[in-house]
Chains A and B, each alone.
Chain A
Amino acid sequence: MSNSSDATAVRLEEVRKTYHTGEVEVHAVRGVSIEIGQGEFVALMGSSGSGKSTLMNILGCLDRPTAGRYFLDGEDVSSLSRDELADVRNRKLGFVFQSFNLLSRTSALENVELPLLYSEIALTSAQLREKAEQVLASVGLEGRGDHTPSQLSGGQQQRVAIARALINDPEVILADEPTGNLDSRTSVEVMEIFQTLNEKGITIIMVTHEQDIASYARRNIVMRDGLVCDDIVVQNRFNATAELEKKTAAEALEAAV
C-alpha cells in the first residue's frame, strides 16, 4: 500500500445498477467509469434521484453492481460474498451518514469502538478504550467519551460518527450528505475535519447537494440520470478554517451592532 497520490483508491468500470421493483426496472446507475486516486477529496453532486446514493452504496461495498467492475485499493470487490464485503468495509472503509446512525443510549466511546469489535484484530477492553479516546480527541471531542448521543449536539454526534469511521484506519471515507442535518456553521466544522483528514492522506468521497459544501472538496463529480455528466477540479477551493474565522468575525460584528 503506497501513500503516493497517484495510486488509485477506487476504480469503477462501466458500473451499472438496476433495481427491479415489481414490473418496472429502475436503472439507477447506467454505466459509470471513474477513478479516484488516493488522497483525493471528491464531492459527488447531482439532482435528486440521479443515482448518487446508489453509487455510494456500491462504493461502500454495501451493495454489488448489477454489471461492471469495482476495484477498491487494487482489489476487485464486485463479486465478493456478503461476508467478504463486510470484512472489506471493516478494514478499508469508514462511513459517515446524514443521520449519524449512532447507537442510542450508548456512550460515544462505545460507539467509536464498534468497528473494532468486528475486526480481525483482537484488543483488550483497555486497548479499545485507549484507541477510541485517541480518535475522539482527534475530532475535538476529548472528555466527551462518556456522553450518549442524546447528550451531544448534532455536530458533536457527527464528529463521533467520524471518529467511528476513522478507528480502523480506513483507505476511504464515504459520506452520504454528512451535513444534511447540520446548520451551516457546524457543516463547515465537519468540512474542517474532513480537510484535515484529507491533508493526512485519507481519501474522502462525499455526497452533497450544496455547492458551497462541494467547494471544500478538491474534485466535483456531477451525476445526472445515472451517468456522470461533469467531472471538474475545484477552482477557488474553500479552506474551512479560514471560513470559520470569517464566520466568527461576522458573528462578533453582529453581536456588537
Chain B
Amino acid sequence: MIPKNFTRRLRLLSTFKIAARALRRNKLRSALTALGIIIGVGAVIAMVSIGNGAKAQVEAQIAGLGENIILIFSGSTTASGIRTGWGGAGTLKIEDAEAIRREVPAVTLVSEEVVSTAQVMAGNQNWFTRIYGESADYFDLRQWALADGAPFTDQDVRSANKVCVVGRTTATQIFGSEDVVGQVLRVKNVPFQITGVLTPKGLTSQGTDQDDIVIMPYTSAMKRVLGGGTTLRNINAQVASPGDLAPAQQQIIALLRQRHNIREGRDDDFTVRNQEEIAAAQTATTETMTALLAGVAVISLIVGGIGIMNIMLVSVTERTREIGTRMAVGAHGRDILTQFLIEAISLSAVGGIIGIILGIVSAKVLAAVKNWPSLISPGSIVAAFLVSAAVGVFFGFYPARKAAQLDPIDALRYE
C-alpha cells in the first residue's frame, strides 16, 4: 500500500505538469497576462530606484554646498502683504556682508554673491552662460577645487579686476579645450583674463549643468556685468562646526534686523537658512516624490493583478468543458483549484522575474541618460517579487475556486 501523503505529493507534481501544459497551450494569453505584472513590477523597481537615485543626488548636491553653510537671501518680506521670495528685493548690501564678517565670531568665511547671465565671447565663438560674482573665499567655502590654474584673490576683489574662473562646459564651448588658463574671455565685451578652470560637478537634480559657469569677483560683476547697483542676491557664510550653525544664524538675524532698522514685530526683509534646514526640506521633497512614484507603480501592479484575475475568470468560463472533462476522468475539485492557482502564480511569478530584470535595466538606462546614480535596493526587488507572487495567489484564488466548484455535468454540457 502506498502511503497517502506520498500519493498526494505525486498528485501535486502532476498538477504542476497539467498547469504547465495549460499555460503552453495558450502562449499568447499567458504572455499578455504576465505583461501586466511585468509592467507593474518593472515600474515599482524602476520608480523606487529612480527615487533613491534622485534622493542620493540631492544629498550629494547639498553636501556639495560645502560644510556648515548658512545662506542669507535678500527678500522674503511681507511688506504690505506681498511675499517677494528669496532673492526678490535687493535688501542685502555689501556692508551687511562686511558686518557679518566682522561681528559674528563663529563665521569663518563669507562670500558676497550676485548672479547674472550673459553672452561671453572669445575669438569668433560665443556662448550664453551664467555669471556668478563671489568673494575669494567662495572656493574654500563651497569646497570647489580648481582643476587648473588658481582662483582670483582678495586683491582682485578689492580692485574689481577683470579676472575670472570658468567651468569646464564654458571652457570647452568657447575654446574647444580645457586648457584655457591665461586666455581672455570677453563678457559683455569686457575682456576678462581666465585664472583657473573649476573641477567638474555635473548636472543638478533639476538638470542644470553646474559646469556651465563663469565666476568672477563680485565687485567686477557688479561694476562691469550688472552695470552698477549695490545690492547682493545673497550672502554665503561658513561656520567652524555644526554646533555653531544655530547660534550664528540667530546672531546674523539679530545683526541684520538691527542694520535694516526692522522694528519689533515686523517681518525680516531677508531669509536665513542653514544647510541642515535646506537638506531636510530637499530630502522631504524627494521622499515625497519617491513615495508618489512608488504609489503609482504599486497601482499599476494592482491593475496587473486584476488583469490576471480577469483573464483567469475568462479562462475558467472558456475552459468550462475542459474542467468538466478533467473532472469526468477523475480530477478532484482540489486538483482543479491547485491547477488554476499554479497557473496564476506561475504567470505572476514569471512576470515578476521579467519585471525585475526590466525594472533594473530601465533604472540603469534612465540613470545613465539623466546622469543619476541608480540605486537599486535589494529590498525593493525582494518585495516586488513577493508582492507579484502574492498578487497571483490573491487574484488567482477566486477564479480557481470558481472552477473547482463547478458541477462536472453542467461543465461537460456547457456551450
Of the listed stretches B57-65, B115-123, B329-337, chain A binds: B329-337
One of A60, A105, A115, A118 near B25 (C-beta < 8 A)? A105
The smallest C-beta distance from A97 to any residue of chain B, in angstroms, reads: 7
A34 close to B (CB within 8 Å): no
Report A-chain residues with C-beta under 8 Å of the C-beta of B7: 120, 122
A83 close to B (CB within 8 Å): yes
Known contacts A106-B21, A106-B25, A122-B10; decide if A101 and B330 are in contact (CB<8 Å): no
Q: Decide: A63 and B409 in contact? CB cutoff 8 A.
A: yes
The smallest C-beta distance from B375 to any residue of chain A, in angstroms, reads: 45
The smallest C-beta distance from B275 to any residue of chain A, in angstroms, reads: 66
Known contacts A63-B409, A95-B328, A122-B10; decide if A117 and B17 are in contact (CB<8 Å): yes
Known contacts A101-B412, A106-B25, A117-B17; decide if A164 and B333 are in contact (CB<8 Å): no
Total residues of chain B contacting the partner, CB 8 A = 29
Q: Decide: A86 and B18 in contact? CB cutoff 8 A.
A: no
Report B-chain residues with C-beta under 8 Å of the C-beta of A110: 21
Closest residue of chain A to B4, judged by CB?
A120
Q: Decide: A120 and B2 in contact? CB cutoff 8 A.
A: yes
Total residues of chain A contacting the partner, CB 8 A = 30
User: How far is B135's CA from A149's CA once the two chains are assembled, in angstroms?
Assistant: 86
Known contacts A101-B324, A122-B7; decide if A90 and B409 are in contact (CB<8 Å): no
Closest residue of chain B to A120, judged by CB?
B7
Q: Decide: B332 and A86 in contact? CB cutoff 8 A.
A: yes
The smallest C-beta distance from B301 to any residue of chain A, in angstroms, reads: 30
Q: Which residues of B are at the interface with A, using a C-beta cutoff of 8 A?
A: 2, 7, 10-11, 13-15, 17-18, 21, 25-26, 321-322, 324-335, 408-409, 412
Report A-chain residues with C-beta under 8 Å of the C-beta of B17: 117, 125
User: How far is B331's CA from A114's CA once the two chains are assembled, in angstroms?
Assistant: 9
Q: Decide: B329 and A97 in contact? CB cutoff 8 A.
A: no
User: How far is B331's CA from A115's CA once the two chains are assembled, in angstroms?
Assistant: 8
User: How far is B18's CA from A110's CA once the two chains are assembled, in angstroms?
Assistant: 10
Chain A residues numbered 113-135 whose CB sits less than 8 Å from any CB in chain B: 114-115, 117-120, 122, 125
A233 close to B (CB within 8 Å): no
Main secondary structure of the interface of B (DSSP, over half): helix
Report B-chain residues with C-beta under 8 Å of the C-beta of A87: 330, 332
Closest residue of chain B to A89, judged by CB?
B330
Q: Decide: B409 and A118 in contact? CB cutoff 8 A.
A: no
The smallest C-beta distance from A205 to any residue of chain B, in angstroms, reads: 15
Chain A positions 86 through 104: 1 when the CB is less than 8 Å from some CB of chain B, otherwise 0 = 1101110001010001111
Q: Decide: A89 and B328 in contact? CB cutoff 8 A.
A: yes
User: How far is B322's CA from A120's CA once the two chains are assembled, in angstroms?
Assistant: 21
Q: Decide: A83 and B332 in contact? CB cutoff 8 A.
A: yes
A241 close to B (CB within 8 Å): no
Q: Decide: B330 and A97 in contact? CB cutoff 8 A.
A: no
Chain A positions 52 through 68: 1 when the CB is less than 8 Å from some CB of chain B, otherwise 0 = 00000100101100000
The smallest C-beta distance from B403 to any residue of chain A, in angstroms, reads: 14
Report A-chain residues with C-beta under 8 Å of the C-beta of B321: 101
A247 close to B (CB within 8 Å): no
A82 close to B (CB within 8 Å): yes
One of B14, B21, B408 near A118 (C-beta < 8 A)? B14
Q: Decide: A101 and B335 in contact? CB cutoff 8 A.
A: no
Report A-chain residues with C-beta under 8 Å of the C-beta of B331: 86, 118
Closest residue of chain B to A83, judged by CB?
B332
The smallest C-beta distance from B309 to any residue of chain A, in angstroms, reads: 23
Q: Decide: B333 and A118 in contact? CB cutoff 8 A.
A: no
Report B-chain residues with C-beta under 8 Å of the C-beta of A86: 327, 330-332
Closest residue of chain B to A102, judged by CB?
B325
Report A-chain residues with C-beta under 8 Å of the C-beta of B25: 103-106
The smallest C-beta distance from B252 to any residue of chain A, in angstroms, reads: 78
The smallest C-beta distance from A20 to any residue of chain B, in angstroms, reads: 14
Q: Decide: B408 and A62 in contact? CB cutoff 8 A.
A: yes
Report A-chain residues with C-beta under 8 Å of the C-beta of B333: 82-83
The smallest C-beta distance from A184 to any residue of chain B, in angstroms, reads: 26
Report B-chain residues with C-beta under 8 Å of the C-beta of A164: 329
User: How far is B7's CA from A102's CA once the two chains are assembled, in angstroms?
Assistant: 26
Q: Decide: A115 and B330 in contact? CB cutoff 8 A.
A: yes
Q: Decide: B329 and A95 in contact? CB cutoff 8 A.
A: yes
Known contacts A103-B322, A106-B25; decide if A97 and B332 are in contact (CB<8 Å): no
Report B-chain residues with C-beta under 8 Å of the C-beta of A115: 329-330
Which residue of A60, A86, A102, A115 has the most chain B CB atoms within 10 A of its CB atom? A86
Q: Decide: A101 and B409 in contact? CB cutoff 8 A.
A: no
Chain A positions 161 through 183: 1 when the CB is less than 8 Å from some CB of chain B, otherwise 0 = 00010001000000000000000
Report B-chain residues with C-beta under 8 Å of the C-beta of A168: 330
User: How far is B17's CA from A86's CA once the two chains are assembled, in angstroms?
Assistant: 20
The smallest C-beta distance from A171 to any residue of chain B, in angstroms, reads: 14
Report B-chain residues with C-beta under 8 Å of the C-beta of A95: 328-329
User: How far is B334's CA from A106's CA once the two chains are assembled, in angstroms?
Assistant: 22
User: How far is B330's CA from A115's CA once the two chains are assembled, in angstroms?
Assistant: 6
One of B15, B325, B330 near A103 (C-beta < 8 A)? B325
Q: Decide: A101 and B325 in contact? CB cutoff 8 A.
A: yes
Name 9 extra pairs, CB < 8 A, besides A118-B326, A168-B330: A57-B409, A62-B412, A82-B332, A86-B327, A87-B332, A115-B329, A115-B330, A120-B2, A122-B7
User: How far is B399's CA from A116's CA once the two chains are assembled, in angstroms?
Assistant: 25
Rank and list the top 4 A-B pairs by shortest CB-CB distance, nearest first.
A90-B330, A118-B330, A115-B329, A122-B10
User: How far is B11's CA from A82's CA once the two chains are assembled, in angstroms?
Assistant: 17
Report A-chain residues with C-beta under 8 Å of the C-beta of B11: 118
User: How far is B2's CA from A101's CA once the two chains are assembled, in angstroms?
Assistant: 32
A-B contact pairs, 29 of them (CB 8 A): A60-B328, A62-B408, A62-B409, A82-B333, A83-B334, A86-B327, A86-B332, A89-B328, A89-B329, A90-B330, A95-B328, A102-B325, A103-B25, A103-B325, A104-B25, A105-B25, A110-B21, A114-B329, A115-B329, A117-B14, A117-B17, A118-B14, A118-B329, A118-B330, A118-B331, A118-B335, A122-B7, A164-B329, A168-B330
